[in-house]
């Protein structure tokens, strides 16, 4: 039965207008995981950068057909908190645009200006099936985009409490897509990031109690400023501790219009942050939440989503002593909407393995797929626009040769905004250069063989 | 594996003498020491002659309670490139006594473990771990992995920093890890001695030490030493400073060894003053201590191989060998293991050229020794998955690699990289019965280690809380005694 609904999407909400592929394309015969359901032997039709239809049946006439029989078709994976496009080499300071240490620019720090569409981190992530990312500024509390591996690392200054941002806020996150091209920004300033727990306490002077007081005082200043802009310009109100730029940036947070991503790990701290958000009218997203399973019902009752890495099961410090592999499963079972993270900028592609490990520790498979696709899109206010295969959504489609959560599986075809992506990277070029043991052919150094 | 010095009671002899099993036969039959004419060196005060007490921190490891058993019905990946469907592994007195197909006889009195539908592999060996020395929690007071006070700290031993209560040992075991090499960090040119341990709960580190396993010395190339010491405006501040530092250290060690040899030969004059730093490096020179060399770049590996030739020692393994694929034939020819990650790259300049196919490209060389390692308390729990990702990458590159081959990257090749291949790393008669029963194919993300045996003793059972040990640290902590999502209380 033909079920080809020609539904052209309204692209108006997208800030960046992607280069559209006009070609009508049908991906047929695969096991389609839409992000919210499963269709066996499904057909995904895309055109003009959008999904036209998802269902069963033959390809429309004239369509280019991608045969996905025996394969699995998913929405492109959406990885949160990976720093993609904003950090090239973690240890090379000048190449890292994820964190900022100027006192006058904390909440107003906007990662979108530092995005590099030519970053070599993007093709590597694409090979892991990632088509979108939420780039979140980093701070010393961890979970802010960096998962540094500085091997044997304690002398490298990124250990516990190695605070990089002097303010209470790390800055504002962006949503990007990973299509090759010149503009990867989808939407800037989608959320504000702030560390709580040990990291936040460290910023405030050392104690959690100080940070909560300072946080409330800061929001009071923001509201005062918002009511008295003209007086502020005339220097007619009392001195405020934040810069004008930071005050401006925090107005939507104080109004509940911009979500606040709070990195917090200890169960007790999670409860305090839930209370704070309720008192202050903040639209909260929890990040980390290593001990979240201990207070899962409270998180669920507050309707607060969680960004987490399900493989964090060791007490890296004293605020994660209850860390468990079952955290993702327990939160999901309680009704919390979760998004599963990768392992930092360079290992963002491991997000799917993290999800697989969550499944092997109790998370239902469908929930794991949702945590990599539809959930992060919804958490950041872009549900329906990407992260799921449904009419009108961006044509971010990945074809896999097996279960996408399995390390033995690989991407065989990938579309972002309807554009088919090359499945290559700088690493693939290196591999091919050295695949014959590094022995030059014909006596000339390998450097000539391009 | 261990070469004897002709000139004196080398550390190799000494380590053998201390071994429980690996060397007892050789020391029993090896009377070459007695036959070597040598003047009796006079006894020195306690602690001043390393040869008088060559094993001052001896292993007290004893296998956990065990019984004879046979694991039947599983798909067995032996670690020797063999795959046996519906196979049988017979374990007697903690050793493998038979491995074969369904008709392999099970001796009377052996307990039968039904592993139908499951997979069996050798216990996983992580050749690069900092468990215990960089434990969880990694808080103030618990960071004991880098004696970053001097570029050469060959005198320190990782075993003296190990905190056996690190919960990471338990989570690693739940991932099938039965043996680990614990290394000092890489801040220094010579970070100190490594130690190989059995992954069993113990109050003391001596209770974990792998009997008879050779020591290693951690050496580091590249960015780390030059960054740490260059940042203090001292040498080494550059790659060339690194190399000068290695060479100066081995010159001193040669001189030290020569002084001892001469004193032992003549017995004249005062004996040399014992120097723990040179003692470790002299062990490298006589082959009893293995060089475990953190070295990312191919060009730096080539320089290290020349330094080894200059001073007449062997490099056992390059760790974090990001660019091993650029030098794969040379590494294979030199018999050097390449200990690698699959997915780690880009965190610093020397990690820029990492490729996921590294292990596959290294493994393709005849005589090679490809190893996957962790360097990480998280990754060590999933080394099987890291191998699966490497295998998939190799296959994408068109290479024909079997699972029974790839499993050797964390088993038999890893054992070779630690000098314990005679003892463990494969399922062969005579080997220690270090065995994992997996719930499914270990190359699947969904596979879990159901049971983990060390020397034939059950040390972890996913279905039995009695075999899910908790360290002292874990008792009474937040979450203790509460079940998370249907798992046993406390288990991570």
CB proximity A101 to B under 8 Å: no
Ranges A237-241, A334-338, B311-315, B421-425: which has the least confidence: A237-241
Mean pLDDT computed over B149-157: 98
| pLDDT exceeds 60 at position A174 | yes
> What pLDDT band is residue A7 in, cutting at 50, 70 and 90?
very low
- What's the rounded mean pLDDT across residues A144-168? 41
Q: In this predicted model, which residue has the larger pLDDT, B190 or A157?
A: B190
Give dist(CA B4, CA B8) in Å, integer.
9
Given a cut of 90, whether residue B363 has pLDDT beyond it is: yes
- Relative to beta strand B435-438, strand B119-122 is antiparallel
Q: Do B357 and A431 touch (CB under 8 A)?
A: yes
Least-confidence region, from A145-149, B141-145, B407-411: A145-149
- pLDDT per residue as tens digits for the range B215-272: 999 999 999 999 999 999 999 999 999 999 999 999 999 999 999 999 999 988 999 9
CA-to-CA separations, B417 to A78, A389, B351, in angstroms, rounded: 39, 48, 22
Domain B59-123+428-461: give its CATH code. 2.30.40.10
Q: Report the candidate in B434, B418, B455, B306 with the shortest Cα–Cα distance to residue B2.
A: B418
User: Are B136 and A360 within 8 A, CB to CB?
Assistant: no
B146 touches chain A (CB under 8 A): yes
- Which part of chain A is CATH 2.30.40.10? 1-75+387-450
How high is the pLDDT of residue A236? Answer: 79
State how far the Cα of B277 lies from the Cα of B248, in Å rounded to an integer: 13
A322 contacts in chain B (CB < 8 Å): 477-479
For the stretch A397-426, pLDDT in tens is: 999 999 999 999 999 999 999 999 999 999
Percent of chain B past pLDDT 70, that is, above it, reads 90
- Closest alpha carbon to A260 in A243, A271, A276, A247: A276
Within an 8 Å CB–CB cutoff, is residue B203 touching chain A? no
Integer-rounded Cα Rg, in Å, for chain B is 23
The reply to whether B151 touches chain A by the CB within 8 Å rule is: no
Higher confidence at residue B393 or residue A159? Answer: B393
User: Is residue A148 scored above 80 in pLDDT?
Assistant: no
**How many other β-carbons are positioned within 10 Å of the β-carbon of residue A186?**
24
For residues B369 and B335, what is the distance between their CA atoms, to the nearest angstrom?
Answer: 7
| pLDDT at residue number A182 | 85
Q: Is the Cβ of B232 closer than 8 Å to some Cβ of chain A?
A: no
Percent of chain B with pLDDT over 90: 88
What is the spatial distance between Cα B69 and Cα B109, in angstroms, rounded to a whole number? 8
* pLDDT tops 80 at residue B20: no
pLDDT at A437 over 90: no
More confident residue, B361 or A239: B361
State the residue for tokens 């239902």. Answer: A364
Distance CA A261, CA A195 (A): 8
Note whether A300 contacts B: Cβ–Cβ < 8 A: no
pLDDT in tens, B425-465: 999 999 999 999 999 999 999 999 999 999 999 999 999 99
When scoring B361, B444, B478 by the number of chain A Cβ atoms within 10 A, the one with the most, hence best to mutate, is: B478
* A297 vs B: CB within 8 A: no
3-state secondary structure of B361: helix
Structural domain boundaries in chain B: 59-123+428-461, 124-424
Closest alpha carbon within chain A to B133: A152
**Cα–Cα distance for residue pair A323/A149, rounded to 1 Å:** 20
Q: The dihedral of CA A139, A142, A144, A150: what is its sign?
A: positive
Mean pLDDT score of chain B? 92
- ipTM topping 0.95: no
pLDDT band at B28 (very low <50, low <70, confident <90, very high): very low
pLDDT at B40: 55
How far A2 CA sits from the closest chain B CA (Å)? 36
Nearest to B348 among A90, A320, A439 (CB): A90
Structure confidence by residue, pLDDT tens digits, A295-312? 999 999 999 999 999 999
- A312 chain-B contacts, CB cut-off 8 A: 378
Nearest by Cα to B169 from B459, B484, B415: B459
Q: Which of A153, A347, A408 sits opposite B443 (nearest CB)?
A: A408
pLDDT score of B22? 39
List A241's β-bridge partners, or say none: none
Mind listing the pLDDT tens digit for each residue in B374-385?
999 999 999 999
Distance CA A351, CA A77 (A): 9
Q: Show the tokens assigned to B59.
A: 């292993």
Confidence of residue A156 (pLDDT cuts 50, 70, 90): very low
pLDDT over 80 (residue B490): no
Question: Is there a contact between B355 and A150 if contact means CB atoms under 8 Å apart?
Answer: no
Query: What mean pLDDT do residues A308-331 have?
Result: 97
Specify the CATH number for A1-75+387-450; select among 3.90.105.10, 2.60.410.10, 2.102.10.10, 2.30.40.10: 2.30.40.10
| A94 contacts in chain B (CB < 8 Å) | none
Arithmetic mean of pLDDT, B67-73: 98
Nearest Cβ partner of A406 from B168, B228, B444?
B444
**CATH for A77-386?**
3.20.20.140
Q: Residues B396-416: pLDDT tens digits?
A: 999 999 999 999 999 999 999
Q: What is the pLDDT of residue A443?
A: 80
Look at strands B457-461 and A64-67 and give their pairing.
Answer: unpaired
Chain B residues with CB under 8 Å of A313 CB are: 171, 378, 381, 492
Q: Give the pLDDT confidence of B466-475 residue by residue, as tens digits.
A: 999 999 999 9
**pLDDT computed for residue B487 by the predictor:** 62
What Cα–Cα distance (Å) separates residue B484 from each residue in A118, A330, A363, B353?
43, 7, 12, 40
pLDDT above 90: residue A160: no
**C-alpha–C-alpha distance, residues A218 and A112, integer Å:** 24
At residue B293, the pLDDT reads 98
* Predicted pLDDT at A159: 33
- If you search the block for the tokens 């792998």, which residue do you land on? B210
Nearest residue of A to residue B329, measured between CA atoms: A437
Is it the case that residue B331 has pLDDT exceeding 60? yes
Task: Give me the pLDDT at residue A334, please.
Answer: 97
pLDDT confidence of residue A82: 81
pLDDT value of position B41? 56
| B396: nearest CA partner in chain A | A410
- Partner residue facing B356 (CB), from A90, A155, A427: A427
DSSP 8-state code for residue B271: P
Which are the contacts of B490, defined by CB distance < 8 A and separation ≥ 6? B468, B470, B474, B479, B480, B481
**Using CB atoms and an 8 Å cut-off, which of residues 422-481 of chain B contact chain A?**
443-448, 477-479
Residues of chain A neighbouring B448 (CB-CB closer than 8 A): 360
- Rounded average pLDDT over A57-67: 96
Q: Which of B447, B455, B301, B318 is nearest to B383 (CA)?
A: B447
Superfamily holding B124-424: Metal-dependent hydrolases (3.20.20.140)
Cβ of A316 within 8 Å of Cβ of B485? The answer is no
Q: Percent of chain A scored above 90 by pLDDT?
A: 77
Is cis: bond before B137, omega within 30 of 0? yes
Which residue among A91, A124, A313 sits closest to B348, beta carbon to beta carbon? A91
What is the biggest distance separating any 2 CA atoms in chain A, rounded to whole angstroms? 79
User: Which chain A residues touch B479 with a CB distance below 8 Å?
Assistant: 267, 291, 293-294, 321-322, 324
Please list, in sequence order, all residues whose beta carbon lies within 8 angstroms of the beta carbon of residue A110, skipping any fewer than 6 positions away: A171, A172, A174, A188, A189
State the span(s) of chain A assigned CATH 3.20.20.140: 77-386
């Amino acid at each position: 039965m033909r079920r080809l609904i020609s539904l052209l999407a309204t692209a108006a909400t997208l800030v960046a207008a992607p280069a559209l592929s006009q070609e009508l394309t049908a991906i047929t015969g695969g096991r389609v995981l839409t992000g919210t359901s499963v269709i066996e032997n499904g057909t995904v039709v895309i055109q003009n950068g959008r999904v036209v239809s998802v269902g069963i049946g033959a390809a429309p006439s004239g369509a280019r057909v991608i045969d996905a029989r025996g394969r699995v078709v998913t929405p492109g994976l959406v990885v949160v908190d990976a720093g993609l496009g904003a950090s090239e080499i973690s240890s090379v300071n000048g190449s890292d645009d994820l964190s900022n240490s100027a006192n006058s620019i904390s909440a107003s720090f906007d990662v979108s200006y530092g995005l590099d569409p030519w970053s070599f981190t993007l093709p590597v992530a694409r090979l892991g099936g990632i088509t979108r990312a939420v780039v979140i500024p980093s701070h010393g509390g961890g979970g802010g985009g960096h998962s540094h591996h500085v091997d044997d690392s304690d002398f490298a200054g990124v250990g516990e409490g190695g605070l990089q941002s002097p303010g209470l806020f790390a800055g504002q996150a962006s949503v990007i897509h990973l299509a090759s091209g010149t503009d990867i920004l989808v939407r800037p300033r989608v959320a504000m990031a702030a560390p709580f727990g040990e990291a936040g306490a460290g910023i405030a002077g050392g104690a959690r109690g100080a940070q909560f007081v300072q946080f409330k005082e800061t929001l009071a200043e923001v509201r005062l400023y918002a009511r008295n802009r003209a007086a502020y310009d005339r220097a007619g109100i009392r001195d405020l501790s934040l810069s004008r730029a930071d005050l401006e940036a925090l107005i939507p947070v104080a109004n509940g219009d911009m979500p606040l991503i709070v990195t917090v790990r200890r169960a007790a701290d999670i409860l305090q942050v839930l209370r704070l958000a309720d008192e202050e009218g903040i639209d909260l997203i929890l990040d980390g939440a290593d001990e979240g399973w201990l207070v899962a019902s409270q998180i669920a009752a507050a309707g607060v989503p969680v960004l987490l890495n399900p493989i964090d099961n060791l007490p890296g410090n004293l605020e994660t002593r209850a860390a468990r592999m079952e955290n993702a499963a327990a939160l999901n079972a309680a009704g919390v909407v979760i998004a599963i993270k990768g392992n930092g900028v360079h290992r963002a592609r491991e997000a799917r393995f993290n999800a697989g490990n969550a499944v092997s520790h109790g998370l239902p498979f469908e929930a794991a797929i949702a945590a990599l696709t539809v959930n992060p899109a919804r958490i950041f206010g872009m549900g329906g626009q990407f992260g799921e295969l449904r009419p009108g959504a961006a044509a971010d489609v990945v074809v896999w040769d097996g279960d996408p959560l399995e390390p033995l599986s690989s991407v065989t075809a990938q579309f972002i905004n309807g554009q088919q992506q090359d499945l290559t990277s700088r690493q693939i070029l290196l591999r091919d250069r050295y695949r014959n043991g590094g022995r030059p052919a014909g006596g000339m150094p390998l450097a000539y063989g391009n | 594996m261990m070469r004897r010095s002709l000139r004196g009671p080398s550390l190799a002899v000494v380590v053998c003498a201390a071994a429980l099993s690996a060397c007892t036969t050789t020391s029993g039959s090896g009377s070459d020491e007695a036959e070597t004419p040598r003047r009796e060196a006079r006894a020195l005060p306690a602690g001043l002659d390393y040869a008088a007490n060559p094993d001052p921190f001896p292993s007290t490891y004893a296998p956990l309670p065990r019984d004879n058993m046979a694991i039947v019905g599983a798909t067995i990946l032996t670690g020797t490139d063999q795959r046996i469907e519906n196979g049988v592994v017979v374990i007697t007195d903690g050793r493998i006594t038979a491995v074969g197909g369904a008709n392999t006889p099970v001796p009377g009195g052996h307990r039968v473990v039904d592993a139908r539908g499951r997979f069996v592999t050798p216990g996983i060996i992580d050749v690069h771990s900092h468990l215990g020395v960089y434990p969880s929690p990694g808080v103030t007071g618990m960071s004991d992995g880098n004696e970053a006070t001097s570029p050469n700290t060959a005198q320190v031993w990782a075993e003296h920093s190990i905190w056996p209560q690190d919960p990471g040992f338990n989570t690693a075991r739940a991932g099938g890890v039965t043996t680990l090499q614990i290394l000092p960090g890489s801040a220094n040119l010579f970070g100190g001695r490594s130690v190989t341990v059995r992954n069993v709960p113990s109050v003391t580190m001596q209770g974990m030490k792998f009997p008879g396993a050779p020591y290693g010395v951690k050496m580091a190339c590249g960015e780390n030493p030059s960054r740490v010491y260059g940042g203090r405006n001292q040498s080494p501040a550059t790659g060339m400073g690194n190399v000068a530092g290695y060479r100066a250290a081995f010159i001193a060690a040669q001189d030290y060894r020569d002084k001892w040899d001469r004193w032992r030969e003549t017995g004249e004059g005062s004996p040399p003053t014992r120097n723990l730093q040179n003692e470790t490096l002299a062990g490298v020179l006589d082959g009893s201590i293995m060089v475990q060399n953190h070295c990312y770049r191919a060009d730096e590996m080539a320089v290290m191989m020349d330094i080894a030739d200059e001073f007449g020692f062997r490099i056992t393994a390059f760790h974090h060998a990001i660019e091993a694929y650029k030098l794969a034939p040379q590494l294979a020819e030199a018999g050097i293991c390449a200990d690698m990650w699959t997915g780690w790259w880009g965190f610093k300049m020397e990690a820029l050229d990492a490729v996921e196919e590294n292990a596959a490209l290294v493994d393709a060389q005849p005589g090679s020794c490809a190893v996957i390692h962790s360097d990480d308390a998280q990754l060590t729990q999933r080394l099987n998955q890291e191998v699966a990702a490497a295998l998939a990458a190799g296959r994408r590159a068109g290479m024909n690699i079997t699972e029974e081959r790839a499993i050797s990257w964390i088993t038999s090749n890893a054992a070779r990289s630690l000098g314990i291949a005679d003892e463990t790393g494969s399922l062969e008669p005579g080997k220690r019965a270090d065995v994992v029963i997996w719930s499914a194919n270990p190359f699947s993300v969904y596979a879990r280690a159901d049971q983990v045996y060390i020397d034939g003793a059950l040390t972890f059972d996913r279905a039995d809380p009695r075999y899910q040990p908790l360290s002292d640290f874990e008792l009474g902590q937040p979450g203790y005694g509460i079940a998370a999502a249907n798992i046993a209380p406390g288990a991570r």
